[in-house]
Amino acid sequence: MTPEEKYQVRLKRYVTALHNEKPDMIPIRPFVAEFVAKYAGVSIQAATHDYRVAFEACLRCAEDFDWDAVVPNMIYVWTGLVQAIGLKYYGIPGLDLPENVAFQYKEPPEENAFMKPDEYDLLIADPTDYLLNVWLPRVSHFVQPPGENVTKEHNLALLKGGMAMIEYFNALGGLVQELKKRCGTVAAISGMLKAPLDIIADKLRGYYGLVSDLYARPEKVLAACEALMPHLFRIALDGADPEKNVPIAFWMHRGCVPFITPEHFRKIYWPTLKPIVEELWKRGHQVLFYAEGNWDYHLETFRELPPGSIVYHVDKGDIFKVHRVLGDRFAISGGLPNDLLALGTPEEVRAYCKRIIDAVAQDGGYIMDAGAIIQDDAKIENVRAMTEFTREYGQY
Amino acid sequence: MDRPGVCMAWEEAKRYFPVVQGNEDIVRDIWEKIEYWPWLFIWHVLLSF
């Protein structure tokens, strides 16, 4: 088959499974991140700091493995751009981390959070203005707030950061086309979504700050989440697949029990997320719930969403329970433990894949993947075992 | 003012251009189309980077 023919077959297979139907065989869609650097024999620093190296490593993996879909830039942070803006919250491989350690997030202690507890009204009144004029100068070594002296570093950070982001997104579009033309592989997702409450913890107040606020000023947290909603919706929509084939990725962080209470989930997290997902679905876009960690407590709540509107990805959750609770409404992906890929043997990987396929994939609606993004700890022979076994045993 | 896709709306910016001799709608439209880029930048710094 030509790459174009392969692409069409794989796209049909993947989309059929996304719609919770039965394709010709189980699609394989590993979210390979630093694994691609390991496989291509390049350092993590090279792949993270020079996106061209990461893109080429991704293409090489897509050519060599019989995967239906991949995320083109699962090493999703180009640290060259991060350095240009001077973002303080990253550990960059090769700069302030050893060259073969994946990039890290550094969350400041609560008293040094990037957003102060008395700044909710500013954020609520105009989130974009707050981000540009208060938050960005705090998270950047270079960007100055209004009223401060403009410096050479300030001007350069904004110019370089803006231009570099355009360069990166343009290159990403080219990679999607290259994956199709050279490898016949589908870009697995398009666009991104995060929950308002997660954003407050991730980048603004920090997790500890958010949890304090949920008790000290819950009405402000709710209002802030509501103020973020239209922007998060627009970012998700603008990045979505215009063909409406592949889903928008929704990266789920610390919005679940036990990170927050059931009450906070019910009163704040869910009411400020659900309308976004419903509106995207009304416009024909599925959302991939990338449920990092364990979100089993909330499975019944997720059933409130329209059938087919989401694809549910399992990390540490119980994939067999997920299938029992959600399988009649949504397709499921993942569930293969990452520690098995890192520490297990190919035989153990094959046995686990068989368990999943036997229990979850019999009626279609399942996409093979690890639980979390696949980093450089995964053994190449184990990723190969996952791929080959699924191809062999996953035929319908 | 808070509108997705815009950092400084034309209503706020027009004080810098008190006289528009031609069609203000064209000026407004292009001003706000270019406004999209800094909006996209800051929200992607928040969400993606």
Q: Which pLDDT belongs to residue B1?
A: 55
Helix and strand numbers (H, E) in chain B are 2, 0
> Quick one: DSSP state of residue A332?
E
Average pLDDT over residues A240-268: 98
Least CA distance to A124: which residue of chain B? B2
Is there a contact between A246 and A187 (Cβ–Cβ < 8 Å)? yes
Average pLDDT over residues A147-172: 97
Size of interface A-B (CB pairs under 8 A): 62
Give chain B's residues under pLDDT 70: 1
**To which H or E segment does residue A187 belong?**
strand A186-187
Taking each helix axis from N to C end, the angle separating A346-360 and A380-393, rounded to the nearest 10 degrees, works out to 40
| Nearest CA-CA distance, residue A2 and chain B, Å | 34
- CA gap A204, A264 in Å, rounded: 18
pLDDT tens digit sequence for A44-56: 999 999 999 999 9
pLDDT tens digit sequence for A308-352: 999 999 999 999 999 999 999 999 999 999 999 999 999 999 999
Closest Cα to residue A147, out of A159, A158, A137, A157? A137
By the CB < 8 Å criterion, does A164 face chain B?
no
From residue A280, how far is each of A49, A75, A155, A247 by CA, in Å?
Answer: 33, 26, 37, 10
Does residue A168 surpass a pLDDT of 70?
yes
pLDDT tens digit sequence for A92-125: 999 999 999 999 999 999 999 999 999 999 999 9
Return all residues near B47 (Cβ < 8 A) that are at least 6 apart: A192, A194, A199, A232, A235
**To which H or E segment does residue A49 belong?**
helix A44-49
| Contact between A136 and B42 using a beta-carbon 8 Å cutoff | yes
| Contact between A232 and B47 using a beta-carbon 8 Å cutoff | yes
* Residue-level length of chain B: 49
Query: Tokens representing A378?
Result: 């995964």
Q: Out of A101-110, A170-179, A244-253, B1-10, pick the least confident.
A: B1-10
Q: Which of B2, B43, B49 sits opposite A82 (nearest CB)?
A: B49
- CA gap A28, A314 in Å, rounded: 15
| Contact between A161 and B7 using a beta-carbon 8 Å cutoff | no
Does residue A25 surpass a pLDDT of 80?
yes
Q: Which of A78, A87, A161 sits opposite B41 (nearest CB)?
A: A161
Q: Chain A partners of B37 at a C-beta cutoff of 8 Å?
A: 162, 166
pLDDT tens digit sequence for A357-376: 999 999 999 999 999 999 99
Q: Which pLDDT belongs to residue A51?
A: 97
Q: Which pLDDT belongs to residue B2?
A: 74
- CA gap A179, A182 in Å, rounded: 6
ipTM score for this prediction: 0.96
Q: Which of A128, A139, A192 sits opposite B2 (nearest CB)?
A: A128
Mean pLDDT of the residues in chain A: 97
Is there a contact between A130 and A123 (Cβ–Cβ < 8 Å)? yes
- CA gap B14, A261 in Å, rounded: 47
